[in-house]
Structure 1
Amino acid sequence: MDFQENFLHTIWKYQYFDKKNLQTTTGQNLEINKIGFHNFHEGPDFLEAQIQLGTMQYHGNIEIHRKSSDWISHGHSDDENYNAVMLHVVFEHDRPILRSDGTEIPTLELKGRIFLEVIRNYERLSESKDEILCGSRLQETPEIIRYSMLEKSLVERLELKSDQILYIMGNTKNDWEETAYRWLFRCFGFKTNAETMFNLAKSIPYKILKKQGDKAQVIEAILFGQAGLLPVNGHDAYSHFLVSEYGFYQKKYGLKPALSFQDWKFMGVRPGNFPYRRIAQLAKILAANSSLFSVVLDCSKEIAQFRKMFDVNVDVYWQHHIKPGIISKNKLASNLSKNTFDLLIINFISPLWYSYGKFMNEVHWKEKGFELLQDLNSENNFISRKFEKIGWHVHNAFDSQGMLGLYHNYCREKRCMDCKIGQNLLKPPKVGLLV
């Protein structure tokens, strides 16, 4: 049988094996009183377990391997963290394992004890030809388990974004306004230019742009200059204006362009989403909102306030130009599309609330981040469509964001044994044969 070690973790966690007359490989009677807590960090696989060997009670850790010899190949013999392991659980026992003091670690061999139906369920899952391995059997899983896994994936996704935001916080000396500013730029780069937009924000402090007040065109000129996107030879009056304004503020603040045209991605990007246009939109947002993070916190009452924050119209110039001096074949929209607006709430607002709650240890802000996603329409992307296809309907942004995390971190990586849905599909009948 071919399987990953995390299969055995699931077997132990849910006790999917015959526990009658358990004995160690040396013949000691064994009783399992407490399986322990699954450890997802460094160290033994299960912590704070309780077992009885013969007449003695033991409290400690449990390590799990496919073969006993994996203990050595994984380097545990030289790691003091594993000296406290009281039981070694393996599928196949191929050699005794000793602690650093020379005593043998009691070993439980599962070969011949795992329920046959569990093995068959695992093979059905792992050998599936579906892109989402559990797709054809998803409806066998209770809805509450699916929702629980969706929520877990969403929390992990928000935790990851929160780590990124709090890392920015550390680099800005706990300045929430500067952090929100840099995070907004990253979000405005969307998937294609996220990192480049973030670097643009880092190159020009928010406090300098705030000094320009509601002068959107001045902010725009400064940003274009820092972005390396100013026209080399101005083709029209506005192009000349941008170059002239940046030159003035460059000297005033001692600015140095941080990026060049080559840093930006245009391939596969529609003209309406070109960096020029996104920067012009950002300039308008910054000019209309004097204090970004304060506005983010004030917008906690209703979604309509978010729309006001992002309800900006680019100048007529950008409705007819794809970049300075280059006229667009078609007129471009003056404001943000509804899809862009929703994506900004999902990727900018919700993670900021969650991070703020984590930083301030105020749970209600984290909960607001979840509630906000439940009030938004779901995203329509290739991943949400995959789940719709297998019968898992997407109702709101909470669902679609959870599915993004589920697909990228579990389905695509085939981590079914780390997923509650996969674990449930392994579940045997009450009585099963053994293998």
Structure 2
Amino acid sequence: MHFKEDFIHAVWKYQYFDKQGLTTVTDSVLEIKKIGFQNSHEGPDFSEAHIVIDQMDFFGNIEVHIRSSDWNVHGHESDKNYDSVILHVVWVHDTEVRRKDGTTIPTLALKGKIFLDVLRNYRRLINTRKQLLCSDFLDEVKPIIKFSMLERALIERLQQKSHLIHEEVKSTSGDWEEVAYRWLFHCFGFKVNSLPMLKLAREMPYRLVKKHANQPLVQEALLMGQAGFCYQDKPDDYTLFMKKEYEFYRKKYQLKEAIYPAEWKFMRVRPGNYPPVRISQLVAILSKSPNLFSLLTNQVRTISDLEGLFRAKPNAYWEHHNQLSKPSGKPQNRLLTKRTLNHLGINFIVPLWYAFGKFTDDEGWRERCFDFLQEIPAEDNRIIAAFEKEDWSPENAFDTQGMIGIHHSYCYPKKCLDCKIGQNLLRPAK
């Protein structure tokens, strides 16, 4: 039977093997007092373990492999960090292994000792060809376990995003107004243009934009110019005005060179999501809300509050254009759609609040995030469709963000044994 090393990790962690008359590969009597704490960083797999071999106590670490020879393959025989290993747990023993000082490490071989139920359950998990590996067995999992995993995956997803936000906090010396401004631009890139949008916000700092809070045309000229959109072959009057304003303020504020046009992506992007259109919407929001972070933390409690701040109408020029100097044909409504506002609530507001809560060590922000997500309707995409196909239907964005987290972090990389659902399906019958 073929399996990954994580299976042996799970077997050791949950002690899914027969411990009656347990011995090492050299027939020394083995008793397990404490399995240790699983280590997700460098070094041995489990720390602070306690075992007894031939009535002698040993305290130290446990290392887990498929084969004994993997010890040498991974270079542990010359690594002093592994001198503290007191037991080598493997599926099969194929060679004696030693520490850096030459002493032999006791080995426990699990082949023939793992409970048959566990082996069968693991086999049925890994042999499925479905997008969700556990889909055929989800009805065996209690709702409380599913919910617990949704919450865990959601928190992990928020932690990943908060890490990105904290990087901006460091680079701005803790200026949360600037951070909120940058994160807003990042989110308005809607994945495909998120990086150039973030670059634009970094190069056109919020303090300069706020200087012209009552001059939305100047704000738009600054951003369009710095984005590199004012330089058209056949400019119309509006573009010429944008270019003139930008050139004046570029010299006044000694701005960096504009972003190179090739950094922006237009192919396979809907016209309503073109970067110039999104920048025009950002200007409408920023000219209306000059103290962004303060408003988002003090005046926004619900998705309706966010709509009140963000449903701002851009300059009428953009009703007839998708890019500067390029008419779009029929008039377009440039107010942010309900779907877009929900997206921003999920991907802009909630991660920003969560990151701020982590930064200030205030748990109240986590609950505020959860409450906010539960007000937003469930998302609709191919990942959510895969869960719905298996009769696991989400009620709101709290559920869908958890499902997306489960898919990205556990299902797609096939880390079933790190998932509470997979762990539940692995365990033997009572």
Task: Please tell me the TM-score bracket, short chain as reference.
Answer: over 0.9
1:278-306 CA distance string (max 9 Å, x none): 00001111111111111121135333321
Note the aligned Cα RMSD (angstroms): 1.4
Q: How does 1:391-430 map to 2 (within 5 A)?
A: 391-430=391-430
Q: Judging changes above 3 Å, is the alpha-carbon distance between structure 1 residues 242 and 234 closer, same or farther for their aligned structure 2 residues?
A: farther
Cα deviations by residue, 1:374-420 (Å, 9 ceiling, x for unpaired):
22111111111111111111111111111111111211111112212
**Contact 2:410 2:419 (C-alpha < 8 Å) held by counterparts:** yes
Aligned-partner Cα distance in 2 for 1:47–1:145: 27
What's 2:305 paired with?
A: 305
Cα deviation, residue 362, structure 1:
1.4
Question: TM-score, normalization: structure 1?
Answer: 0.96
Find the residue that maps to 1:256 and give its secondary structure: coil
CA offsets 1:316-368 (integer angstroms, 9 cap, x no match): 21111112222222221131001110111111111111111111111112332
> Contact between 2:78 and 2:99, CA under 8 Å: does it hold in 1?
no
Structure 2 unaligned residues grouped into runs of 5+:
none
2:139 aligned partner, one-letter code: Q
1:334-345 alignment, distance < 5 Å: 334-345=334-345
Once the two structures are TM-superposed, the CA of residue 277 in structure 1 deviates from its matched residue by 0.6
Q: Which residue of 1 aligns with 2:324?
A: 324
Are 2:59 and 1:46 equivalent residues in the alignment?
Answer: no
Please identify runs of 4+ aligned residues in structure 1 that moved more than 4 A: none
Q: Tell me which amino acid in the other structure corresponds to 2:194.
A: A
Deviations 1:201-236 (A, max 9, x none): 111111000000132111111101000011424543
Deviates more, 1:80-89 or 1:327-336: 327-336
Count of residue correspondences? 430
Question: Any conservation in 2 of the 1:229–1:260 contact (CA below 8 Å)?
Answer: no
Amino acid at match of 2:377: N
Q: What CA distance in whole angstroms lies between the structure 1 residues aligned with 2:305 and 2:215? A: 22
Q: Which residue is 1:217 aligned to?
A: 217
- Aligned 8 A contact 1:315 1:334 in 2: no
Give me the TM-score of the superposition, normalised by structure 2. 0.97
- Partner in structure 1 of residue 91 of structure 2: 91
1:169 matched to 2:177: no
Take 1:234 and 1:211, find their aligned partners in 2: how far apart are those partners? 31
After TM superposition, list the pairs within 5 Å mapping 1:208-357 onto structure 2. 208-233=208-233, 235-357=235-357
Q: Distance in 2 between matches of 1:115 and 1:35?
A: 18
- 2-side partners of 1:140 and 1:275: how far apart? 47
In the alignment, what sits opposite 1:382?
382
What is the alpha-carbon distance in structure 2 between the residues aligned to residue 159 and residue 235 of structure 1?
45
| Cα pair 1:17 1:113 within 8 Å, conserved | yes
The aligned counterpart of 1:74 is 74
Q: Which residue of 2 aligns with 1:197?
A: 197
Amino acid at match of 1:97: V
Listed one character per residue, the Cα deviations across residues 145-186 of structure 1 (whole Å, up to 9, x for unaligned) are 222222221111111111111111111122111111111100
Identity of aligned residues (%): 50
Report if the CA contact (8 A) 2:228-2:258 is conserved: yes
Q: C-alpha separation between the residues in 1 aligned to 2:235 and 2:65?
A: 69
C-alpha distance in structure 1 between counterparts of 2:324 and 2:73, whole Å = 61
Counterpart amino acid of residue 301 in structure 2:
K
Give the C-alpha shift of residue 267 in structure 1. 1.0
Residue number in structure 2 paired with 1:363? 363
Structure 2 counterpart of 1:414, one-letter code: K
- The residue type equivalent to 1:106 in the other structure is P
User: Do the aligned residues in 2 keep the contact of 1:225 with 1:257 (CA within 8 Å)?
Assistant: no
Question: Is the contact between residue 234 and residue 240 of structure 1 (CA under 8 Å) also seen in structure 2?
Answer: no
For residues 289 and 369 of structure 1, the distance between their equivalents in structure 2, rounded to whole angstroms, comes to 22
Structure 1 residue aligned with 2:154: 154
Q: Distance in 2 between matches of 1:322 and 1:208?
A: 26
The one-letter code of the counterpart of 1:252 is: K
Q: Give 1:26-41 correspondences, 5 Å limit.
A: 26-41=26-41
The secondary structure found in structure 1 opposite 2:357 is helix
Q: Distance in 2 between matches of 1:304 and 1:126?
A: 44
Q: Distance in 1 between matches of 2:234 and 2:243?
A: 8
